[in-house]
Amino acid sequence: MNDIKTTQTPPLTVKPEAEENLLYIAIKYKNALIGAVVLLLCLGGGTYFWMQQRQANEKEASLQLSRVAPFLDSGRLSSAINGEGKIPGLKKIAAEYKGTPSGNMAALLLANAYYSSGDYTAALNLFKTVSIDNKDLSAAALAGAGACYINRNQFAQAADTYQEASKQAENDVLKAQYLVKAAECLQQTNQIKKASELFTKIVADYPGSTAAAVAQRSLWQVSGKI
């Protein structure tokens, strides 16, 4: 698919920073996700051996993931991705413990690490395949894909992806932020009317929010272009 480019000056807020993807929130949700999986396994009954193996895999994956966290905290992305010494990296954890909560989070954090290191193609491919039950984390993966599309100047795809991320998210702050990104991407493709309609929706649906304030300023900027 050909990249969509435009000579229009991009809005100041359209270029996403790594922090704005909110992917590192995965660590925050770790205990809740693990607890949910364990509860479901216990309710299943009749699968004791499988449950024990599943719990053992998750425990090991969680331990491995905790050892990688210092690399992420200090910005040592290469070590986080590939590991260092006897500590496996996110790439290995995601592959070996695929399907466990911590394995899935490793994949999400791996995609974010690729994004932060500037490898947008690898990040995009991984963001599109991350599977997480938690809706806000699933939305974060979609937003990560949207950020990759922006860096590849594929603004139409980014707009669609951010809108899907907003639908997926449960947190209102995230829903509004993703819609702002979608509207800004629509501006980049010269779809000013659609962008204006989306900015208007943000102001109406999320009054008093930071996203609404950004949307209102953007509405004033595009009002004479429709």
Which residue, 215, 205, 134, is CA-closest to 182? 215
My answer on whether 116 and 165 are in the same domain is no
Q: Of 99, 133, 167, which residue is a domain's last?
A: 133
The domain that holds 197 is classified in CATH as 1.25.40.10
Whether 144 is in a domain gets the answer no
Cβ-Cβ contacts under 8 Å for 76 (sequence gap 6 or more): 84
Which of 20-24, 74-78, 173-177 shows the lowest mean pLDDT across its residues? Answer: 20-24
How far apart (Å, rounded) are the C-alpha atoms in residues 187 and 149? Answer: 15
My answer on whether 163 and 89 are in the same domain is no
Whether 139 is in a domain gets the answer no
Whether 15 is in a domain gets the answer yes
Residue 9 bridge partners (DSSP): none
3-state secondary structure 67-105: HHHHHHHCCCHHHHHHEECCEECHHHHHHHCCCCHHHHH
Cβ-Cβ contacts under 8 Å for 37 (sequence gap 6 or more): 54, 58, 100, 101
Write out pLDDT tens, residues 133-162.
889 999 999 999 999 999 999 999 999 999
My answer on whether 23 and 107 are in the same domain is yes
Residue 65: CB atoms within 10 Å: 25
My answer on whether 16 and 126 are in the same domain is yes
The pLDDT value given to residue 24: 42
Write out pLDDT tens, residues 53-88.
667 788 888 889 899 989 988 999 999 999 999 999
The pLDDT value given to residue 61: 87
Cβ-Cβ contacts under 8 Å for 169 (sequence gap 6 or more): 135, 136, 139, 140, 175, 178
Task: Quote the strand ranges of the chain, DSSP E.
Answer: 83-84, 87-88
The tokens describing 142, both together, are 């979609």
The tokens describing 8, both together, are 């229009």
My answer on whether 160 and 124 are in the same domain is no
The pLDDT value given to residue 226: 57
pTM, 2 dp: 0.75
Across the range 204-215, mean pLDDT stands at 94
Residue 29: CB atoms within 10 Å: 17
Write out pLDDT tens, residues 3-21.
444 444 444 444 444 444 4
Show the domain range for 121.
8-133
Whether 210 is in a domain gets the answer yes
Q: Of 133, 168, 203, which residue is a domain's last?
A: 133
The pLDDT value given to residue 51: 54
Q: Please give the tally of structural domains in the chain.
A: 2
My answer on whether 157 and 129 are in the same domain is no
How much is the mean pLDDT over the chain? 81
Q: Of 133, 161, 177, which residue is a domain's last?
A: 133
